[in-house]
Chains A and B, each alone.
Chain A
Protein backbone atom coordinates (compact mmCIF):
# COMPACT_ATOMS: atom_id res chain seq x y z
CA UNK A 1 0.00 0.00 0.00
CA UNK A 2 2.85 2.35 0.81
CA UNK A 3 4.09 1.83 -2.71
CA UNK A 4 0.84 2.69 -4.45
CA UNK A 5 1.31 5.78 -6.58
CA UNK A 6 -2.04 5.92 -8.28
CA UNK A 7 -5.41 4.38 -7.64
CA UNK A 8 -8.35 4.80 -9.97
CA UNK A 9 -11.65 3.24 -8.96
CA UNK A 10 -14.78 3.05 -11.09
CA UNK A 11 -13.97 6.06 -13.26
CA UNK A 12 -16.79 7.16 -15.54
CA UNK A 13 -16.62 10.04 -17.96
CA UNK A 14 -18.96 11.24 -20.69
CA UNK A 15 -18.73 13.99 -23.25
CA UNK A 16 -22.40 14.80 -23.67
CA UNK A 17 -24.10 11.61 -24.82
CA UNK A 18 -20.82 9.93 -25.57
CA UNK A 19 -19.65 7.66 -22.75
CA UNK A 20 -15.88 7.70 -23.06
CA UNK A 21 -14.91 5.90 -19.86
CA UNK A 22 -17.18 3.26 -18.40
CA UNK A 23 -15.70 2.09 -15.18
CA UNK A 24 -11.90 2.17 -15.11
CA UNK A 25 -10.06 0.52 -12.22
CA UNK A 26 -6.32 0.86 -12.16
CA UNK A 27 -3.60 0.67 -9.55
CA UNK A 28 -0.07 1.75 -10.38
CA UNK A 29 2.80 1.05 -8.00
CA UNK A 30 6.00 3.02 -7.54
CA UNK A 31 8.51 2.38 -10.30
CA UNK A 32 6.05 0.80 -12.69
CA UNK A 33 6.06 1.73 -16.35
CA UNK A 34 2.54 1.20 -17.61
CA UNK A 35 1.96 1.34 -21.35
CA UNK A 36 -1.61 1.97 -22.38
CA UNK A 37 -2.55 0.73 -25.83
CA UNK A 38 -5.81 0.78 -27.69
CA UNK A 39 -7.51 1.90 -30.86
CA UNK A 40 -8.31 5.58 -31.24
CA UNK A 41 -11.51 6.49 -29.45
CA UNK A 42 -10.90 3.81 -26.83
CA UNK A 43 -10.67 6.47 -24.10
CA UNK A 44 -6.99 6.01 -23.30
CA UNK A 45 -6.02 9.67 -23.62
CA UNK A 46 -9.13 10.75 -21.73
CA UNK A 47 -8.26 8.38 -18.90
CA UNK A 48 -4.76 9.84 -18.70
CA UNK A 49 -6.15 13.38 -18.71
CA UNK A 50 -8.56 12.46 -15.93
CA UNK A 51 -5.65 11.52 -13.69
CA UNK A 52 -4.41 15.12 -13.48
CA UNK A 53 -7.78 16.80 -13.80
CA UNK A 54 -7.39 18.10 -17.34
CA UNK A 55 -10.72 16.33 -17.68
CA UNK A 56 -13.30 16.16 -14.91
CA UNK A 57 -14.67 12.74 -14.07
CA UNK A 58 -18.38 12.08 -13.57
CA UNK A 59 -18.08 9.17 -11.18
CA UNK A 60 -15.38 7.31 -9.32
CA UNK A 61 -12.38 7.86 -7.05
CA UNK A 62 -8.88 9.11 -7.83
CA UNK A 63 -6.07 8.79 -5.33
CA UNK A 64 -2.52 9.89 -5.96
CA UNK A 65 0.12 8.75 -3.46
CA UNK A 66 -2.76 7.75 -1.19
CA UNK A 67 -4.13 11.29 -1.19
CA UNK A 68 -7.66 11.76 -2.46
CA UNK A 69 -8.12 13.93 -5.53
CA UNK A 70 -11.75 12.95 -6.10
CA UNK A 71 -14.17 10.69 -4.32
CA UNK A 72 -17.49 9.61 -5.82
CA UNK A 73 -16.84 12.09 -8.60
CA UNK A 74 -16.46 15.01 -6.19
CA UNK A 75 -13.13 16.78 -6.17
CA UNK A 76 -11.32 18.08 -3.11
CA UNK A 77 -10.95 21.87 -2.89
CA UNK A 78 -8.64 23.68 -5.26
CA UNK A 79 -5.79 24.17 -2.84
CA UNK A 80 -5.79 20.49 -1.96
CA UNK A 81 -5.98 19.56 -5.64
CA UNK A 82 -2.84 21.56 -6.33
CA UNK A 83 -1.08 19.78 -3.52
CA UNK A 84 -2.15 16.32 -4.68
CA UNK A 85 -1.43 17.03 -8.32
CA UNK A 86 2.05 18.36 -7.61
CA UNK A 87 3.10 14.71 -7.55
CA UNK A 88 2.27 14.42 -11.25
CA UNK A 89 3.93 15.71 -14.39
CA UNK A 90 2.77 15.47 -17.96
CA UNK A 91 4.26 15.30 -21.43
CA UNK A 92 1.89 16.18 -24.27
CA UNK A 93 1.58 15.03 -27.83
CA UNK A 94 2.04 18.61 -29.05
CA UNK A 95 4.89 19.37 -26.59
CA UNK A 96 3.20 22.62 -25.48
CA UNK A 97 6.44 24.42 -24.72
CA UNK A 98 6.09 28.13 -24.04
CA UNK A 99 7.13 29.61 -27.40
CA UNK A 100 8.09 33.03 -26.03
CA UNK A 101 10.58 31.59 -23.57
CA UNK A 102 13.96 30.08 -24.24
CA UNK A 103 14.56 26.45 -23.35
CA UNK A 104 16.10 27.29 -19.99
CA UNK A 105 13.29 29.75 -19.21
CA UNK A 106 10.75 27.03 -19.98
CA UNK A 107 12.47 24.80 -17.46
CA UNK A 108 12.82 27.27 -14.59
CA UNK A 109 9.45 29.06 -14.73
CA UNK A 110 7.43 26.66 -12.61
CA UNK A 111 10.22 25.69 -10.16
CA UNK A 112 10.77 29.38 -9.34
CA UNK A 113 7.15 30.48 -9.14
CA UNK A 114 5.45 27.33 -7.88
CA UNK A 115 8.13 25.56 -5.87
CA UNK A 116 9.68 28.88 -4.78
CA UNK A 117 13.18 27.65 -5.52
CA UNK A 118 15.85 30.31 -5.94
CA UNK A 119 16.66 31.26 -9.52
CA UNK A 120 20.26 30.07 -9.27
CA UNK A 121 19.24 26.71 -7.94
CA UNK A 122 16.49 26.35 -10.57
CA UNK A 123 18.99 27.10 -13.32
CA UNK A 124 21.44 24.57 -11.93
CA UNK A 125 18.78 21.84 -11.82
CA UNK A 126 17.55 22.79 -15.30
CA UNK A 127 21.05 22.62 -16.75
CA UNK A 128 21.64 19.17 -15.34
CA UNK A 129 18.28 18.01 -16.72
CA UNK A 130 19.16 19.37 -20.15
CA UNK A 131 22.41 17.48 -19.98
CA UNK A 132 20.48 14.35 -19.06
CA UNK A 133 18.24 14.62 -22.14
CA UNK A 134 21.28 15.53 -24.25
CA UNK A 135 20.29 19.08 -25.06
CA UNK A 136 22.72 21.32 -23.20
CA UNK A 137 23.63 23.06 -26.44
CA UNK A 138 20.09 24.42 -27.03
CA UNK A 139 19.87 26.03 -23.58
CA UNK A 140 19.25 29.56 -24.87
CA UNK A 141 17.27 28.81 -28.00
CA UNK A 142 13.58 29.40 -28.53
CA UNK A 143 11.42 26.28 -29.05
CA UNK A 144 10.57 27.22 -32.65
CA UNK A 145 14.26 26.72 -33.51
CA UNK A 146 14.28 23.12 -32.30
CA UNK A 147 13.27 19.94 -34.06
CA UNK A 148 10.16 18.15 -32.84
CA UNK A 149 12.24 15.51 -31.13
CA UNK A 150 14.30 18.14 -29.34
CA UNK A 151 11.16 20.02 -28.30
CA UNK A 152 9.70 16.87 -26.81
CA UNK A 153 12.89 16.13 -24.88
CA UNK A 154 12.82 19.70 -23.54
CA UNK A 155 9.20 19.11 -22.54
CA UNK A 156 10.26 15.97 -20.66
CA UNK A 157 13.02 17.93 -18.92
CA UNK A 158 10.51 20.67 -18.04
CA UNK A 159 8.20 18.10 -16.46
CA UNK A 160 11.12 16.55 -14.56
CA UNK A 161 12.19 19.96 -13.23
CA UNK A 162 9.12 19.86 -10.98
CA UNK A 163 10.34 16.55 -9.53
CA UNK A 164 7.13 14.63 -10.03
CA UNK A 165 6.62 11.15 -8.63
CA UNK A 166 4.52 10.07 -11.60
CA UNK A 167 5.01 11.13 -15.19
CA UNK A 168 2.10 10.93 -17.59
CA UNK A 169 2.84 10.72 -21.32
CA UNK A 170 0.04 11.44 -23.77
CA UNK A 171 1.14 9.94 -27.11
CA UNK A 172 4.54 11.62 -26.80
CA UNK A 173 5.81 10.53 -30.21
CA UNK A 174 2.62 10.79 -32.28
CA UNK A 175 3.34 14.30 -33.55
CA UNK A 176 6.91 13.47 -34.54
CA UNK A 177 8.43 12.49 -37.85
CA UNK A 178 9.29 8.79 -37.69
CA UNK A 179 13.05 9.44 -37.69
CA UNK A 180 12.70 11.65 -34.61
CA UNK A 181 10.75 9.27 -32.40
CA UNK A 182 13.88 7.31 -31.54
CA UNK A 183 15.55 10.07 -29.52
CA UNK A 184 12.39 10.66 -27.47
CA UNK A 185 11.87 6.95 -26.82
CA UNK A 186 15.52 6.67 -25.77
CA UNK A 187 15.02 9.39 -23.16
CA UNK A 188 11.88 7.62 -21.95
CA UNK A 189 13.69 4.28 -21.73
CA UNK A 190 16.39 5.92 -19.63
CA UNK A 191 13.74 7.26 -17.26
CA UNK A 192 12.14 3.82 -17.07
CA UNK A 193 15.53 2.32 -16.24
CA UNK A 194 15.80 4.81 -13.35
CA UNK A 195 12.48 3.47 -12.02
CA UNK A 196 10.51 6.61 -12.68
CA UNK A 197 6.82 5.79 -12.35
CA UNK A 198 5.38 6.34 -15.81
CA UNK A 199 2.02 5.95 -17.47
CA UNK A 200 2.41 6.10 -21.22
CA UNK A 201 -0.40 6.28 -23.74
CA UNK A 202 1.28 5.25 -26.95
CA UNK A 203 1.13 3.58 -30.31
CA UNK A 204 4.78 2.52 -30.07
CA UNK A 205 4.54 -1.26 -29.75
CA UNK A 206 8.31 -1.61 -29.50
CA UNK A 207 8.43 0.74 -26.52
CA UNK A 208 5.57 -1.10 -24.79
CA UNK A 209 7.26 -4.43 -25.40
CA UNK A 210 10.74 -3.45 -24.25
CA UNK A 211 10.37 -0.69 -21.68
CA UNK A 212 7.00 -1.24 -20.03
CA UNK A 213 6.56 -3.35 -16.94
CA UNK A 214 2.88 -3.75 -17.67
CA UNK A 215 0.70 -3.30 -20.72
CA UNK A 216 -2.92 -2.27 -20.56
CA UNK A 217 -5.22 -2.62 -23.52
CA UNK A 218 -8.28 -0.38 -23.63
CA UNK A 219 -11.25 -0.45 -25.96
CA UNK A 220 -14.70 1.09 -25.77
CA UNK A 221 -13.95 2.93 -22.53
CA UNK A 222 -12.93 -0.10 -20.48
CA UNK A 223 -9.72 -1.97 -19.76
CA UNK A 224 -10.02 -5.12 -21.85
CA UNK A 225 -6.81 -6.83 -20.91
CA UNK A 226 -3.66 -6.24 -18.92
CA UNK A 227 -0.54 -8.29 -18.56
CA UNK A 228 3.24 -8.19 -18.52
CA UNK A 229 4.55 -7.22 -21.98
CA UNK A 230 5.86 -10.67 -22.82
CA UNK A 231 2.58 -12.46 -22.26
CA UNK A 232 0.56 -9.57 -23.60
CA UNK A 233 2.24 -9.64 -26.97
CA UNK A 234 2.85 -13.40 -27.20
CA UNK A 235 -0.35 -14.79 -25.71
CA UNK A 236 -3.12 -12.23 -25.80
CA UNK A 237 -6.24 -13.68 -24.19
CA UNK A 238 -9.04 -11.50 -25.49
CA UNK A 239 -10.31 -11.52 -29.06
CA UNK A 240 -10.26 -7.72 -29.27
CA UNK A 241 -6.64 -7.65 -28.15
CA UNK A 242 -5.70 -10.23 -30.76
CA UNK A 243 -7.46 -8.25 -33.47
CA UNK A 244 -5.76 -5.03 -32.38
CA UNK A 245 -2.32 -6.62 -32.30
CA UNK A 246 -2.83 -8.20 -35.71
CA UNK A 247 -3.63 -4.81 -37.15
CA UNK A 248 -0.74 -3.06 -35.45
CA UNK A 249 2.11 -5.49 -36.03
Chain B
Protein backbone atom coordinates (compact mmCIF):
# COMPACT_ATOMS: atom_id res chain seq x y z
CA UNK B 1 0.00 0.00 0.00
CA UNK B 2 2.81 2.36 0.86
CA UNK B 3 4.45 1.59 -2.44
CA UNK B 4 1.21 2.41 -4.21
CA UNK B 5 0.96 5.74 -2.39
CA UNK B 6 4.55 6.61 -3.28
CA UNK B 7 3.87 5.86 -6.90
CA UNK B 8 0.78 7.99 -6.87
CA UNK B 9 2.65 10.93 -5.35
CA UNK B 10 5.37 10.69 -7.99
CA UNK B 11 2.85 10.42 -10.78
CA UNK B 12 0.96 13.42 -9.45
CA UNK B 13 4.15 15.43 -9.67
CA UNK B 14 4.33 14.41 -13.31
CA UNK B 15 0.70 15.41 -13.67
CA UNK B 16 1.76 18.91 -12.63
CA UNK B 17 3.84 19.27 -15.79
CA UNK B 18 1.00 17.83 -17.87
CA UNK B 19 -1.50 20.29 -16.40
CA UNK B 20 0.90 23.19 -16.86
CA UNK B 21 1.31 22.42 -20.56
CA UNK B 22 -2.41 21.87 -20.94
CA UNK B 23 -3.62 25.08 -19.32
CA UNK B 24 -1.00 27.43 -20.72
CA UNK B 25 -1.47 26.03 -24.23
CA UNK B 26 -5.22 26.46 -23.97
CA UNK B 27 -4.99 30.01 -22.62
CA UNK B 28 -2.57 31.07 -25.38
CA UNK B 29 -3.96 29.09 -28.31
CA UNK B 30 -7.59 30.20 -27.99
CA UNK B 31 -7.02 33.96 -28.48
CA UNK B 32 -4.28 33.37 -31.05
CA UNK B 33 -6.62 31.04 -32.92
CA UNK B 34 -9.38 33.66 -32.84
CA UNK B 35 -7.03 36.31 -34.22
CA UNK B 36 -5.74 33.92 -36.88
CA UNK B 37 -9.33 33.24 -37.95
CA UNK B 38 -9.98 36.97 -38.27
CA UNK B 39 -6.78 37.26 -40.31
CA UNK B 40 -7.85 34.37 -42.49
CA UNK B 41 -11.17 36.09 -43.23
CA UNK B 42 -9.57 39.51 -43.62
CA UNK B 43 -9.95 41.42 -46.86
CA UNK B 44 -6.19 42.05 -46.76
CA UNK B 45 -5.12 39.34 -49.19
CA UNK B 46 -1.50 38.81 -48.02
CA UNK B 47 -2.65 38.41 -44.40
CA UNK B 48 -5.33 35.95 -45.40
CA UNK B 49 -2.87 33.91 -47.47
CA UNK B 50 -0.30 33.96 -44.69
CA UNK B 51 -2.85 32.56 -42.25
CA UNK B 52 -3.91 29.92 -44.72
CA UNK B 53 -0.24 28.91 -45.09
CA UNK B 54 0.22 28.81 -41.32
CA UNK B 55 -2.81 26.56 -40.86
CA UNK B 56 -1.66 24.32 -43.69
CA UNK B 57 1.79 23.83 -42.13
CA UNK B 58 0.46 23.20 -38.65
CA UNK B 59 -2.27 20.81 -39.67
CA UNK B 60 -0.20 19.19 -42.39
CA UNK B 61 2.68 17.98 -40.23
CA UNK B 62 2.63 15.78 -37.12
CA UNK B 63 2.64 17.56 -33.77
CA UNK B 64 5.48 15.21 -32.79
CA UNK B 65 7.58 16.53 -35.67
CA UNK B 66 6.80 20.12 -34.67
CA UNK B 67 7.90 19.40 -31.12
CA UNK B 68 11.16 17.87 -32.32
CA UNK B 69 11.70 20.81 -34.66
CA UNK B 70 11.30 23.43 -31.95
CA UNK B 71 13.37 21.42 -29.49
CA UNK B 72 16.24 20.23 -31.69
CA UNK B 73 16.23 22.28 -34.90
CA UNK B 74 15.76 25.80 -33.56
CA UNK B 75 18.89 25.64 -31.34
CA UNK B 76 20.90 24.90 -34.51
CA UNK B 77 19.95 28.34 -35.82
CA UNK B 78 20.76 29.86 -32.45
CA UNK B 79 17.34 29.88 -30.81
CA UNK B 80 17.58 27.81 -27.66
CA UNK B 81 14.47 27.81 -25.52
CA UNK B 82 14.05 26.33 -22.06
CA UNK B 83 12.41 22.88 -22.22
CA UNK B 84 8.98 23.92 -21.11
CA UNK B 85 8.94 27.03 -23.32
CA UNK B 86 9.88 24.93 -26.35
CA UNK B 87 7.06 22.52 -25.68
CA UNK B 88 4.61 25.37 -25.12
CA UNK B 89 5.63 27.08 -28.35
CA UNK B 90 4.99 23.96 -30.42
CA UNK B 91 1.72 23.11 -28.68
CA UNK B 92 0.39 26.66 -28.88
CA UNK B 93 1.19 27.12 -32.57
CA UNK B 94 -0.30 23.75 -33.39
CA UNK B 95 -3.51 24.14 -31.40
CA UNK B 96 -4.03 27.75 -32.43
CA UNK B 97 -4.15 26.54 -36.05
CA UNK B 98 -6.90 24.05 -35.27
CA UNK B 99 -8.78 26.62 -33.21
CA UNK B 100 -8.42 29.12 -36.08
CA UNK B 101 -10.23 26.75 -38.42
CA UNK B 102 -12.98 26.18 -35.87
CA UNK B 103 -13.45 29.93 -35.32
CA UNK B 104 -13.41 30.58 -39.05
CA UNK B 105 -16.21 28.08 -39.61
CA UNK B 106 -18.12 29.60 -36.70
CA UNK B 107 -17.78 33.13 -38.04
CA UNK B 108 -18.87 32.07 -41.50
CA UNK B 109 -21.95 30.40 -40.07
CA UNK B 110 -23.36 33.73 -38.87
CA UNK B 111 -26.04 34.81 -41.37
CA UNK B 112 -25.38 38.02 -43.30
CA UNK B 113 -28.69 39.32 -41.98
CA UNK B 114 -27.16 39.67 -38.52
CA UNK B 115 -24.53 42.06 -39.87
CA UNK B 116 -27.13 43.93 -41.92
CA UNK B 117 -29.50 44.32 -38.97
CA UNK B 118 -26.60 45.63 -36.86
CA UNK B 119 -25.58 48.08 -39.54
CA UNK B 120 -29.10 49.35 -40.03
CA UNK B 121 -29.40 49.95 -36.29
CA UNK B 122 -26.20 52.01 -36.42
CA UNK B 123 -24.06 49.60 -34.39
CA UNK B 124 -20.35 50.03 -35.05
CA UNK B 125 -18.35 47.20 -36.60
CA UNK B 126 -16.52 46.50 -33.36
CA UNK B 127 -19.71 46.57 -31.32
CA UNK B 128 -21.36 44.21 -33.80
CA UNK B 129 -18.50 41.75 -33.49
CA UNK B 130 -18.38 41.95 -29.71
CA UNK B 131 -22.07 41.92 -28.82
CA UNK B 132 -23.85 40.35 -31.78
CA UNK B 133 -21.46 38.06 -33.64
CA UNK B 134 -19.09 36.71 -31.00
CA UNK B 135 -21.72 35.35 -28.58
CA UNK B 136 -23.33 33.47 -31.46
CA UNK B 137 -19.97 32.18 -32.70
CA UNK B 138 -19.20 30.94 -29.20
CA UNK B 139 -22.35 28.85 -29.21
CA UNK B 140 -21.38 27.29 -32.54
CA UNK B 141 -17.73 26.61 -31.74
CA UNK B 142 -18.09 25.17 -28.24
CA UNK B 143 -18.64 21.54 -29.30
CA UNK B 144 -15.62 21.39 -31.67
CA UNK B 145 -13.49 23.37 -29.18
CA UNK B 146 -14.46 20.86 -26.52
CA UNK B 147 -13.30 18.08 -28.81
CA UNK B 148 -9.91 19.69 -29.44
CA UNK B 149 -9.44 20.47 -25.77
CA UNK B 150 -9.91 16.83 -24.87
CA UNK B 151 -7.41 15.92 -27.59
CA UNK B 152 -4.96 18.35 -26.01
CA UNK B 153 -5.14 16.53 -22.67
CA UNK B 154 -3.86 13.40 -24.37
CA UNK B 155 -1.47 15.14 -26.76
CA UNK B 156 0.44 16.58 -23.80
CA UNK B 157 1.87 13.08 -23.41
CA UNK B 158 3.95 13.74 -26.55
CA UNK B 159 6.40 15.85 -24.53
CA UNK B 160 7.54 12.49 -23.25
CA UNK B 161 9.99 12.48 -26.20
CA UNK B 162 11.53 15.75 -25.02
CA UNK B 163 12.67 14.08 -21.80
CA UNK B 164 10.37 16.20 -19.68
CA UNK B 165 8.90 14.51 -16.66
CA UNK B 166 5.25 14.62 -17.48
CA UNK B 167 2.63 12.21 -16.23
CA UNK B 168 3.29 9.49 -18.79
CA UNK B 169 7.07 9.63 -18.55
CA UNK B 170 7.04 9.40 -14.77
CA UNK B 171 4.71 6.44 -15.03
CA UNK B 172 6.92 4.68 -17.52
CA UNK B 173 10.05 5.28 -15.45
CA UNK B 174 8.43 3.63 -12.46
CA UNK B 175 7.18 0.74 -14.59
CA UNK B 176 10.68 0.10 -15.90
CA UNK B 177 12.24 0.34 -12.46
CA UNK B 178 9.73 -1.72 -10.50
CA UNK B 179 8.43 -4.10 -13.17
CA UNK B 180 4.93 -3.16 -12.02
CA UNK B 181 2.20 -2.05 -14.40
CA UNK B 182 0.18 -0.14 -11.77
CA UNK B 183 1.60 3.30 -12.76
CA UNK B 184 0.10 2.94 -16.24
CA UNK B 185 -3.25 2.28 -14.61
CA UNK B 186 -2.89 5.36 -12.40
CA UNK B 187 -1.93 7.44 -15.46
CA UNK B 188 -4.95 6.18 -17.38
CA UNK B 189 -7.23 7.07 -14.47
CA UNK B 190 -5.73 10.54 -14.34
CA UNK B 191 -6.31 11.19 -18.07
CA UNK B 192 -9.83 9.82 -17.81
CA UNK B 193 -10.61 11.97 -14.78
CA UNK B 194 -9.39 15.08 -16.52
CA UNK B 195 -11.42 14.28 -19.61
CA UNK B 196 -14.48 13.71 -17.45
CA UNK B 197 -14.07 17.09 -15.77
CA UNK B 198 -13.66 18.81 -19.15
CA UNK B 199 -16.65 17.04 -20.65
CA UNK B 200 -18.76 18.17 -17.72
CA UNK B 201 -17.47 21.76 -17.89
CA UNK B 202 -18.12 22.06 -21.64
CA UNK B 203 -21.60 20.60 -21.22
CA UNK B 204 -22.30 23.37 -18.69
CA UNK B 205 -20.91 26.01 -21.04
CA UNK B 206 -22.92 24.71 -23.98
CA UNK B 207 -26.10 24.78 -21.91
CA UNK B 208 -25.34 28.33 -20.79
CA UNK B 209 -24.59 29.71 -24.24
CA UNK B 210 -27.29 27.66 -25.93
CA UNK B 211 -30.15 28.76 -23.71
CA UNK B 212 -31.65 30.81 -26.52
CA UNK B 213 -32.22 27.79 -28.77
CA UNK B 214 -35.81 26.80 -29.38
Contacts and interface: CB of A to CB of B under 8 A. Distances in A.
Interface in A13-67: 52, 54
A143 B212 CA distance: 8
Contacts of A113: 123, 127, 131
Contact of A90 (B111, B120, B127, B132): B120
A109 B117 CA distance: 12
Nearest to B136: A100
B114 interface: yes
Contacts of A144: 212-214
Contact of A162 (B121, B135, B139, B213): B121
Interface string A75-115: 00000001001101110101011111100000001100110
B123 A109 contact: yes
B113 to A, nearest CB: 4
A83 B115 CA distance: 19
Contact of A145 (B111, B209, B214): B214
Contacts of B120: 52, 54, 85, 88-90, 159
Contact of B131 (A89, A109, A142): A109
B119 interface: yes
B116 A110 contact: no
B136 A162 contact: no
Contact of B122 (A85, A92, A142, A143): A85
B123 A114 contact: yes
A89 B116 CA distance: 11
B211 to A, nearest CB: 8
Contact of A110 (B114, B123, B135, B139): B123
Contacts of B139: 100
A12 interface: no
Contact of A158 (B121, B131, B211, B212): B121
A204 B28 CA distance: 54
Contacts of A96: 111, 113-114, 116-117
Interface in B175-214: 209, 211-214
A110 B212 contact: no
Contact of A100 (B113, B127, B212): B212
Interface string B48-88: 00000000000000000000000000000000000000000
A117 to B, nearest CB: 13
A10 B136 CA distance: 40
Nearest to B214: A144
B212 A99 contact: yes
A2 B176 CA distance: 92
Contacts of A100: 135-136, 139, 209, 212
A243 to B, nearest CB: 33
B106 to A, nearest CB: 13
A88 B120 CA distance: 8
B137 to A, nearest CB: 10
Contacts of A92: 113, 116-117
Interface hub of B111, B135, B211, B212 (most chain A Cβ within 10 A): B212
A35 B211 CA distance: 39
A54 B116 contact: yes
A86 B121 CA distance: 8
7 contacts: A82-B122, A98-B114, A98-B117, A99-B136, A99-B212, A100-B212, A162-B121
